[in-house]
Amino acid sequence: MKIAVFGAGAVGCYIGGQLAAGGAEVTLIGRPRLAPALARGLELTDFDGGRVRTGPLRFAPGAEGAAGADLVLICVKSRDTETAVALKASLTPGIPIISLQNGIDNAATLARVLEHPVVPGMVAFNVAWQEEDALHRGTGGALHSGPVPDAVKGAFTAAGLPLQIHADMAPVLWAKLMLNLNNAINALSGLPLRAQLEQRDYRRCLALAQEEFLALC
């Protein structure tokens, strides 16, 4: 399977690297500064002790890297969702596109700008750069998606990232947003995540934010 990843950040490179290690032909689309590290390959580790070293990874600085892809994964930040319009000229008609972004409305926005159906998805785990060519998945959590073809599910399973399929992704998207309410509290505390959450006062701040969120919902 030929897979294009639009948004070669931490999440995009981790998922793309795992898919490549699982046998897919992956092209990562992102900033040119990433090209040297991707040409060497990436070291992918996780908190369970897993370790994968990829071979050299294909890189493209622009949307033309999606030409001929059987599947496109959108991994840009929500604020950059509409930049995916650049993919429109390179998309093969009818291929699946999955939005693997935090946020509620990204799939709908993508479908509008691309004039192409888009499947909502969600990455429930955390990924961080360790070195310029090393990424670490530091938490548990799965990859979630709306319904996709069996070939897509097979590619993710082969990569050790099986998709959890949902007929309705809206509750998953909102649940991730609720978890992410802690991001601002964590940043303002200036503490590592675990140290912050071990303190009751910070947990109370998070509880208050979540109560407000649930009232809004």
Tell me the C-alpha to C-alpha distance, in Å, between residue 99 and each of 32, 86, 96. Answer: 22, 15, 10
Three-state DSSP at 37 gives helix
pLDDT tens digits for range 12-48 = 999 999 999 999 999 999 999 999 999 999 999 999 8
Instruction: Look up the CATH superfamily of 2-166.
Output: NAD(P)-binding Rossmann-like Domain (3.40.50.720)
pLDDT tens digits for range 62-77 = 999 999 999 999 999 9
Phi/psi at 52 (nearest 5 deg)? -130, 130
pLDDT tens digits for range 40-52 = 999 999 998 999 9
Domain boundaries, the chain: 2-166, 181-216
pLDDT tens digits for range 173-194 = 999 999 999 999 999 999 998 9
State the pTM of this model: 0.93
